[in-house]
Amino acid sequence: MDKKTLAIVGASGYAGGEFLRLALSHPYLEVKQVTSRRFAGEPVAFVHPNLRGRTNLKFIPPEKLEPADILVLSLPHGVFAQEFERYAGLAPILIDLSADFRLKDLELYRKYYGEHPRPELLGRFVYALPELYRDRLREADWMAGAGCNATATILGLYPLLRGGVLKPGPIFVTLLISTSAAGAEPSPASHHPERAGSLRVYKPTGHRHTAEVVENLPGRPEVHLTAIATDRVRGILMTAQAFLLDGWSERDVWQAYREAYGGEPFIRIVKQKKGVHRYPDPRFVQGTNYADIGFELEEDTGRLVVMAAIDNLVKGTAGHALQALNIRMGWPETLGLEFPGLHP
């Protein structure tokens, strides 16, 4: 098969760098250009030491971008929207990893991000979560990658809201996130001696990904996010708490997950009664495109605890975007996403 050419804008950052890693191993993709203003002229491996010996690409400044079949954008939030015409003219297929075009609801966008420079384009991008929007993605030329915390939260809760098994009311979500989520730019807060060993409450209230979660879950539930950063480099562990409808049981929860995710190649239900690794753990999906999902029901109270573990840079960002691209191109959905993760 002819390879498709691809360029990545902002490939020295963690999201862009992860898409680059995946694309370099993808049999049908040929990475032609990667941009980085700061590292222009440097070989890719200067920034991403894992790619030593894997490519001879050097970073170029964004001005030197040439047309390609696919353009992946990993720019600071707001930049793509500002320079939309320029980038949209370079490739028929656009994958944006920022928050610029994730939302459809302008009010929600305003509440969490402020004014949008191109509000008329909201709704023109398909939200790139295959588990929710596979059919639309088959025909999507413009795709907006989901937020990593939103991905974990939505994937954990979607079957329950779709299946109508939860009692109406607030859903409390605690997100254990990692330090790569804050990006590749050093700061006093990211200085290793300050950061290592910390459990840092990062965003107890008002998390921006709330908007995506609400917009994409059936019935627009009341979801409350609290984000705490561990000192893992990668990974998210989402736990959500809500109450099951009176009279419903664990069986109904199983049923809801099966109906929503039967046949999904990257969803695994993890729920063991014995053994060392009984529930989802972000460690064991590191580097992979899996979302491991589990739950536990407290019989006497009806409280349901839902868990989801993903790698924030793979299933949470570059992985679901590549999965969406595979769908769009009619390629096998798992192509380039086969890494199984490590144990121990």
Restricting to residues 35-54, name those near a second copy by CB under 8 A.
46, 48-54
- When binding is defined by CB under 8 A, the residue of 75, 270, 325, 335 that contacts a second copy is 270
Instruction: List the end-to-end C-alpha distance of the chain, in Å, as a whole number.
Output: 37
Counting residues that bind a second copy (by CB under 8 A) gives: 87
- Amino acid symbol at 83: E
Distance CA 44, CA 57 (A): 6
Q: Is 114 in the site for a second copy (CB under 8 A)?
A: no
Q: Is 193 in the site for a second copy (CB under 8 A)?
A: yes
DSSP secondary structure, 98-155, as one string = SSTTT-S-HHHHHHHH---S-GGGTTSSEE--HHHHHHHHTT-SEEEPPPHHHHHHHH
DSSP secondary structure, 8-67, as one string = EESTTSHHHHHHHHHHHT-TTEEEEEEE-STTTTSBHHHH-GGGTTT---BEE-GGG---
> Shortest gap between Cβ of 207 and a second copy (angstroms)?
10
CB contact set of 234 (below 8 Å; sequence gap of 6+): 178, 180, 282, 286, 287, 311, 312, 313
Q: Is 259 in the site for a second copy (CB under 8 A)?
A: no
- When binding is defined by CB under 8 A, the residue of 287, 324, 327, 337 that contacts a second copy is 287
- When binding is defined by CB under 8 A, the residue of 77, 167, 192, 220 that contacts a second copy is 192
Q: Is 186 in the site for a second copy (CB under 8 A)?
A: yes
Q: Is 123 in the site for a second copy (CB under 8 A)?
A: no
Q: Is 330 in the site for a second copy (CB under 8 A)?
A: no
Peptide bond into 67 cis (omega under 30): no
Q: Is 278 in the site for a second copy (CB under 8 A)?
A: yes
Binding residues for a second copy restricted to 139-178, rule: CB under 8 A: 170, 172, 174, 176
- Show which residues are catalytic: 148
- When binding is defined by CB under 8 A, the residue of 147, 280, 316, 319 that contacts a second copy is 280
- Burial category of 299 from C-beta neighbours within 10 Å (exposed 0-12, middle 13-18, buried 19 and up): exposed
Q: Is 21 in the site for a second copy (CB under 8 A)?
A: yes
The residue to which tokens 């708490």 are assigned: 241
- When binding is defined by CB under 8 A, the residue of 239, 317, 323, 326 that contacts a second copy is 239
Handedness of CA 275, 287, 182, 88 (dihedral sign): negative
- When binding is defined by CB under 8 A, the residue of 89, 114, 188, 262 that contacts a second copy is 188
Binding residues for a second copy restricted to 50-79, rule: CB under 8 A: 50-54
Q: Is 25 in the site for a second copy (CB under 8 A)?
A: yes
- When binding is defined by CB under 8 A, the residue of 16, 62, 294, 319 that contacts a second copy is 294
Residues annotated in a binding site for NADP(+): 12-15, 36-38, 312
Of the candidate spans 26-34, 128-136, 255-263, 268-276, the one that interacts with a second copy by CB under 8 A turns out to be 268-276
* Residues 59 and 39: beta-carbon distance below 8 Å: yes
Q: Is 344 in the site for a second copy (CB under 8 A)?
A: yes
Binding residues for a second copy restricted to 208-227, rule: CB under 8 A: 224, 226
Q: Is 89 in the site for a second copy (CB under 8 A)?
A: no
CB atoms inside a 10 Å sphere around CB 199: 10
CB contact set of 107 (below 8 Å; sequence gap of 6+): none
